[in-house]
């Protein structure tokens, strides 16, 4: 039994943080499902940018869509929906077997909408309808403007992956938006079992303080933040408010660890995987991290429900001048800007590929 299966059997879902057409067409994703216990998949603008830029696998589809007058963002979302619904089809047996707990694929709305509630909600509803798959999460950023869109999407019965969460406070705000949507469904006599995950980004914390803290604190901040957030997650699940919703038929919004690839070349390639093992959570891994886990990984001790020593560790960061609250806000803002940058690069790649393919077709 490799470590991916061990982690799965422990109760943590192993998801892949990547999608490309090659991954689907070559059977590699199916291999990961069968051999590495992968039960879901996430994507983002950066992933699609790299996939389309570095491959000819999309060229024929781009030509076909151009022949129908598609360009820019509409052309991209047609490509993305083809990939994501293809992945969702592979995960559908898992979704059916687990009755909707697992087996999900995720697609993000345009990051240009991160601070526009109404446009985000309109895009979410459009993508959900066009996908026509029950096991597709639409990703909505957990920004201040994203929170009302999360609540409304859940109330409308649309499964949501809340993205760009960095702290306990940001996670709790997203969880409460989810729960408000669920409670409104219960009050309206609607089925409350709408799927959701809340994605907390880990490695970017340590990247943000690299070279700014003493050596003993190196690569400790992300894990401490995760432990603090996990404690809040467990407390929320145990609260009377959540349990009333669950008793009415709701499903827990699972906590998802994102950005779990190790950025520090001096650290273990499985630093965040080993440290964040916990039942009823998800770890979405870059492809290299997934392969490393299957090849030479070991599963660490289960996360303590009380957060363990997280507050002591965070106190040490405070003494060396790290303002965790301010940094959480900064990381969320930077994350949103980073996705916008990737989105703009992606649109440029679509435009340049379209132009090149049009020229070659005309020639």
Please name the residue ranges forming H helices in the chain: 3-10, 21-25, 28-36, 45-53, 59-67, 72-97, 117-131, 146-155, 168-187, 203-208, 221-238, 240-247, 271-275, 287-296, 310-319, 324-362
Residue carrying the six token digits 């435009």: 351
Convert 292-315 to b/e letters by CB count within 10 Å (16 or more is b).
bbbeebebeeebeeebbebeebbe
End-to-end CA distance of the chain: 54
Closest CA to 140 of 150, 126, 132, 148: 150
Cα–Cα distance for residue pair 150/117, rounded to 1 Å? 9
Q: Distances from the Cα of 79 to the Cαs of 19, 20, 325, in angstroms?
A: 12, 10, 38
What secondary structure letter does DSSP report for 301? P
Question: In terms of C-beta density within 10 A (0-12 exposed, 13-18 middle, 19 or more buried), how is residue 7 classed?
Answer: buried
Please tell me whether residue 223 adopts helix, strand or coil conformation: helix
Beta bridge partners of 38: 14
Number of Cβ within a 10 Å radius of residue 4: 23
Q: Please answer whether residues 79 and 47 qualify as being in contact, where contact means their C-beta atoms are separated by less than 8 angstroms.
A: no
168-187 vs 146-155: helix crossing angle, rounded to 10 = 30
Residues noted as catalytic? 139
Residue by residue, DSSP assigns 272-287 as HHHHT--TTEEEEE-H
Closest CA to 291 of 27, 17, 47: 17
């Amino acid at each position: 039994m490799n470590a991916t299966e061990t982690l799965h059997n422990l109760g943590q879902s192993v998801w892949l943080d990547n999608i490309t057409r090659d991954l689907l067409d070559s059977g590699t994703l199916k291999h990961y499902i069968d051999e590495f216990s992968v039960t879901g998949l996430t994507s983002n603008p950066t992933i699609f940018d790299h996939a389309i830029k570095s491959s000819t696998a999309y060229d024929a589809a781009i030509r076909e869509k151009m022949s129908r007058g598609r360009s820019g963002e509409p052309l991209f979302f047609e490509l993305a929906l083809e990939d994501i619904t293809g992945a969702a089809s592979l995960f559908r047996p898992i979704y059916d077997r687990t009755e909707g707990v697992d087996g999900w694929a995720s697609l993000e709305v345009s990051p240009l909408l991160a601070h526009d509630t109404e446009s985000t909600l309109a895009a979410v509803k459009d993508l959900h309808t066009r996908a026509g798959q029950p096991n597709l999460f639409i990703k909505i950023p957990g920004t201040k403007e994203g929170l009302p869109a999360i609540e409304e999407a859940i109330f409308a019965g649309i499964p949501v992956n809340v993205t760009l969460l960095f702290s306990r406070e940001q996670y709790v705000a997203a969880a409460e938006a989810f729960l408000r949507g669920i409670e409104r469904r219960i009050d309206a006599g609607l089925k409350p079992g709408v799927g959701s995950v809340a994605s907390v980004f880990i490695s970017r914390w340590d990247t943000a303080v690299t070279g700014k803290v003493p050596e003993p604190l190196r690569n400790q901040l992300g894990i401490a933040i995760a432990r603090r957030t996990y404690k809040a997650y467990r407390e929320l699940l145990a609260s009377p408010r959540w349990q009333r919703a669950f008793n009415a038929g709701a499903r827990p919004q699972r906590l998802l660890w994102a950005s779990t690839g190790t950025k520090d070349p001096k650290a273990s390639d499985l630093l965040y995987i080993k440290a964040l093992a916990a039942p009823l959570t998800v770890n979405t891994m870059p492809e290299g991290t997934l392969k490393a886990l299957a090849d030479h990984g070991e599963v660490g001790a289960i996360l303590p429900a009380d957060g363990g020593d997280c507050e002591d560790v965070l106190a040490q960061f405070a003494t060396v001048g790290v303002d965790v609250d301010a940094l959480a806000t900064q990381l969320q803002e930077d994350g949103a800007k980073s996705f916008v940058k990737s989105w703009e690069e992606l649109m440029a790649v679509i435009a340049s590929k379209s132009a090149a393919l049009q020229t070659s077709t005309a020639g």
